[in-house]
Structure 1
């Protein structure tokens, strides 16, 4: 764990943001574009309607007041890091629970989208993660320890995954 004051261009990060309800998080994949901002890939919702946010927004995760954990899950050549570098893989993800997750999570959420995004990036050879369940558990463990509503919240914290490279 570290509290860096800059992002590393070329990293691929799982970033979990605290929500108003304790122990729940907004799940995203972020790719730093500079030392201060990252492209934020995620599923958004309004009520029961879900969509992939496009155009892909830039986010200042280092100074976010709700960031719980940023876990490095992969690396890419920094010269290819752009706001749209993963868009072709992540924007087509269906906003419904894939068959592989139906038993675990019948209702679609941003976490379900994240799990499918990891599988797609693994299949495309962009990162290596053979155990999405273990990665999810690891991310939750880091995020629960640093929720924005807790008095111990430490702001941006960076970890390196044991389950994805």
Structure 2
């Protein structure tokens, strides 16, 4: 991982095949910032959070798929400003598809927002990106099994998203 690369980071949730969805901006190979919607382990209502995180070292980390890049003259705070005011509710245009608000719903809206403003992540089909992320992360979760020493984390480049050039 290189400085200012933007990743979709998926971490394990309570059920196999279900994940917590995070936008991760690398500071270096092992450290970065996570940007996401969280309930802090169901102790608070949904809220926006942006903070330092050693994502690749996290026990719950399953996959990091590169989806974009922040220009060298900017930093993660510029991306944060673009997504921090996204409501913690199902977007009007997603109500027929989504039955409840989750971090995945917020993540998808954040990607749509970044694509619409033409910064950091270019993704014309967020649903296709979602399907790719689920498929690759589910496969990675299956391959690592559940035994001790199975901490291998998938790091790859997503095909359905890229950096704006």
Normalising to structure 2: TM-score of the pair?
0.87
- Mind listing any 5+ residue stretches in structure 1 that lack a counterpart? 1-6
Normalising to structure 1: TM-score of the pair?
0.87
Counterpart contact for 2:9–2:21, Cα < 8 Å: yes
Q: How many residues align?
A: 156
Counterpart contact for 2:17–2:138, Cα < 8 Å: yes
- Mind listing any 5+ residue stretches in structure 2 that lack a counterpart? none
Give distance in 1, aligned partners of 2:151 and 2:100. Answer: 31
Among candidates 143, 146, 165, match of residue 140 of structure 2: 146
1:10-159 equivalent positions in 2, closer than 5 A: 10-45=4-39, 46=42, 49-53=45-49, 56-82=50-76, 84-126=77-119, 127-147=121-141, 150-151=145-146, 153-159=150-156
Give distance in 2, aligned partners of 1:85 and 1:75. Answer: 12
Give distance in 2, aligned partners of 1:155 and 1:109. Answer: 26
Higher relative contact order (CA 8 A, sep 6+): 1
Counterpart contact for 2:22–2:36, Cα < 8 Å: yes
Counterpart contact for 2:8–2:67, Cα < 8 Å: yes
Of Structure 1 and Structure 2, the greater helix share is in 2
Give distance in 1, aligned partners of 2:27 and 2:131. Answer: 27
Give distance in 2, aligned partners of 1:102 and 1:48. Answer: 23
| Segment of structure 1 superposing worse, 113-122 or 140-149 | 140-149
CA deviation profile, 1:8-52 (whole Å, cap 9, x unmatched): 112110000011211100000010122321110000012672000
Counterpart contact for 1:44–1:50, Cα < 8 Å: yes
CA RMSD of aligned residues (A): 1.9
Counterpart contact for 1:61–1:156, Cα < 8 Å: no
CA deviation profile, 1:31-89 (whole Å, cap 9, x unmatched): 01223211100000126720001xx211111211111111111122234224x231111
